Structure 1
Amino acid sequence: MSRTLYIIGCAAPPARRIAVGIRAAQAAGWDTCLVLTPYAYRWLTEDPDPALEFTLDALTELTGHPVRHRYKLPVEPDVLPPADAFLAVPLTFNTMNKWADGHSDTLAVGLLTEAFGLAHRPPVVALPHWNDAQAAHPAVERNVGVLRAAGATVLLGGEDGFVPHPPGRSRPDAYPWSAAVAALPTLVSD
């Protein structure tokens, strides 16, 4: 039986390399579905990069599912299978704050918000990506605590998490995709 992972991608520099995370999840046995925030989708459609497999066609082919970025209309069918787990990568400062506050103004945030209330309680893993100026904001400690208390695994700091960088010095190639994917098998039984 296949396990379905919703990868929620936010508009941070590592998102342009999201194919790396998708491939890592697939290698771990996940059927992957990609849902992007509106700005991440805008990057995908307005500034694609075929060399990084950062095009709509390449990501649709890689996952085998349509890339979603907005709520469907009531008359439209669901095109993705139900999620068994969620992976928010790269989780931005903005999306983390909206998610912790219970917003659902975008499909990406709405899915993460609903994950806490689903009957089967799917595991949710988040790997942030923000700078150390944002990390100093009091909302980070508070909202990471809210998400963890609700059941999310937020990988921040240490060997298995994201360490914030100075503003303007992001290193997208160093983003620890494998740490995010590795957190999933310990949370989901086969």
Structure 2
Amino acid sequence: MTTLYLLGSAAPPVLDIASVIERAQARGYDVCLGLTPSAARWLEPGAAGLERLTGHPVRSGYKAPGARDVWPPADVVLFAPATFNSVNSWALGLTSSFVVGFAAEAIGKGIPLVAMPCVNSAYARHRAFGRSVAELREMGVTVLYGPGGFEPNLPGERRPGGFPWELALDAVDALAP
């Protein structure tokens, strides 16, 4: 079975992560869920259910040096939703959160990576964001942003049809070994 690391940051689509896990499992993936600390706080009331669903601990922090890894090795990674902060931190190599640190290291390990940002149009206009998306793409990350991927909405606006999770899962399918 192919192991998918599903990494998410604190943006509203992360609240639907259980259904995304189920859809990924229906496609044949063994899913391990990693979250930024803020996303973990948002999902904390349902964390035990997410662990039962995946069969793995939900991780939001680095393991202690020398500690056994509680997840099987990743075959492919999906970082979604990836916030403005996560995308910029990742592109700059600032690894203060476990999920950003793992994603940064995965580039060097050659693990296939898909990222789908979730930012509003105000964040998207910040010059650093465009540079970060370009930098990640240059490092080999499939970034689903712009036409055919995530397109920013106005601040506070709900996206008709929701977050395009199926596009992200299709991109994972295309990269999975």
Match of 2:153 among 156, 165, 171: 165
Contact kept? 2:76, 2:175, Cα under 8 Å: no
Q: Which has the higher helix share?
A: 2
Aligned length: 177
**Deviations 1:63-116, CA, capped at 9 Å, x for gaps:** 110000001112532100111111001010000000000111111110000011
Q: What percent identity do the matched residue pairs reach?
A: 49
**Deviations 1:19-74, CA, capped at 9 Å, x for gaps:** 122122112111100000010011112xx3xxxxxx11111011110000001112
One-letter amino acid of the counterpart of residue 85, structure 1: V
- Shift, 1:16, TM fit: 0.6
Once residues 3 and 78 of structure 1 are traced to their aligned partners in structure 2, the CA distance between those partners, rounded to angstroms, is 17
Query: How well do the aligned residues superpose, as a CA RMSD in angstroms?
Result: 1.3
Match of 1:134 among 123, 139, 148: 123
Match of 1:114 in 2: 105
Once residues 161 and 23 of structure 2 are traced to their aligned partners in structure 1, the CA distance between those partners, rounded to angstroms, is 15
Match of 2:13 in 1: 14
Once residues 172 and 77 of structure 1 are traced to their aligned partners in structure 2, the CA distance between those partners, rounded to angstroms, is 43
Gaps of 5+ in 2: none
Contact kept? 1:5, 1:83, Cα under 8 Å: yes
- Shift, 1:13, TM fit: 0.4
Match of 2:24 in 1: 25
Once residues 92 and 164 of structure 2 are traced to their aligned partners in structure 1, the CA distance between those partners, rounded to angstroms, is 26
TM-score (norm 2): 0.95
- Shift, 1:171, TM fit: 3.3
One-letter amino acid of the counterpart of residue 122, structure 1: I
Gaps of 5+ in 1: 49-54
One-letter amino acid of the counterpart of residue 174, structure 1: G
TM alignment of 1:28-47, pairs within 5 A: 28-45=27-44
Contact kept? 2:2, 2:176, Cα under 8 Å: no
TM-score (norm 1): 0.89
One-letter amino acid of the counterpart of residue 67, structure 2: E
Once residues 81 and 32 of structure 2 are traced to their aligned partners in structure 1, the CA distance between those partners, rounded to angstroms, is 15
